[in-house]
């Protein structure tokens, strides 16, 4: 059964790659799930920033095994928060993007609605394949939430991990300042690095890719703003588990 699931996912992956390339973009795959999951987190579109300096370099790195949601402390904080505050023992999650072509932030803001419309059918197929019975869909950020809402998709929204959404982090802790003060002292850089090692091991990317991704995450400071991001995810994920 697992073999059949992987086969279907790889077929879908091939079709997503064709669509990204038909748009002239570099397809950035996710590391593939091996069985259905309890939570699907839908982000926006892969960014070229941080892991590749050009489409040519991005193409080379993807061919060598690079995968999405690995390089950068912000996406790793989403991994960390999902594992610590959302998933119960034995539960699984899958991170994906609405559209899968890597691009600059400036490119991403152009014709996003049209691009998401073009990708929505494949996203639906991905959700249908990857979601276990009763799985919940989580929209990461306003852009994804707006489009899923327009399509009539049931979902729960959390803030995006982008540094551009910094004001949302401040807004998210309003009324929880005392709790946040205690919370931020409970999270250490070692906790994030431990999760990073687990994520990279599960992704099965080549050692050179894994080592580079780990170095990027290790080089990111666990700043107060980033701790606010983790606390926002904690509040949202715990509310989700409580039926909200």
Q: What was the pLDDT predicted at 217?
A: 94
The predicted-structure confidence for 146-199, as pLDDT tens digits, reads as follows: 999 999 999 999 999 988 888 999 999 999 999 999 999 999 999 999 999 999
What is the spatial distance between Cα 103 and Cα 106, in angstroms, rounded to a whole number? 8
Rounded (10°) angle between helices 189-203 and 73-81: 90
For 189, other C-beta atoms within 10 Å of its C-beta total 13
Q: What was the pLDDT predicted at 50?
A: 75
The predicted-structure confidence for 78-93, as pLDDT tens digits, reads as follows: 999 999 999 999 999 9
pLDDT of 244 > 80? The answer is no
Q: Which domains does the chain have, with CATH numbers?
A: 2-241 (3.40.470)
The predicted-structure confidence for 120-141, as pLDDT tens digits, reads as follows: 999 999 999 999 999 999 999 9
């Amino acid at each position: 059964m697992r073999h059949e699931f992987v086969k279907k996912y790889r077929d879908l992956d091939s079709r997503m790659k064709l669509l990204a390339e038909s748009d002239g973009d570099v397809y950035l795959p996710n590391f593939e799930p091996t069985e259905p999951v309890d939570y699907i987190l839908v982000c926006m579109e892969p960014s070229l920033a941080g892991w590749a300096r050009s489409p040519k370099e991005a193409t080379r790195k993807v061919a060598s095994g690079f995968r999405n949601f690995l390089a950068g402390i912000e996406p790793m904080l989403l991994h960390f928060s999902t594992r610590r505050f959302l998933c119960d023992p034995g539960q699984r999650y899958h991170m994906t993007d609405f559209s899968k072509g890597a691009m600059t932030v400036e490119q991403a803001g152009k014709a996003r609605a049209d691009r998401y419309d073009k990708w929505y059918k494949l996203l639906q197929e991905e959700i249908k394949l990857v979601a276990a019975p009763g799985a919940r869909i989580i929209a990461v950020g306003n852009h994804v939430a707006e489009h899923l809402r327009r399509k009539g998709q049931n979902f729960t929204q959390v803030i995006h991990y982008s540094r551009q959404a910094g004001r949302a982090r401040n807004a998210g802790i309003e009324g929880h300042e005392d709790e946040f003060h205690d919370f931020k002292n409970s999270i250490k850089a070692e906790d994030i690095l431990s999760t990073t090692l687990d994520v990279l091991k599960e992704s099965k990317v080549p050692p050179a890719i894994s080592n580079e991704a780990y170095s990027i995450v290790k080089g990111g400071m666990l700043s107060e703003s980033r701790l606010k991001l983790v606390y926002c995810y904690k509040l949202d994920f715990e509310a989700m588990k409580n039926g909200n």
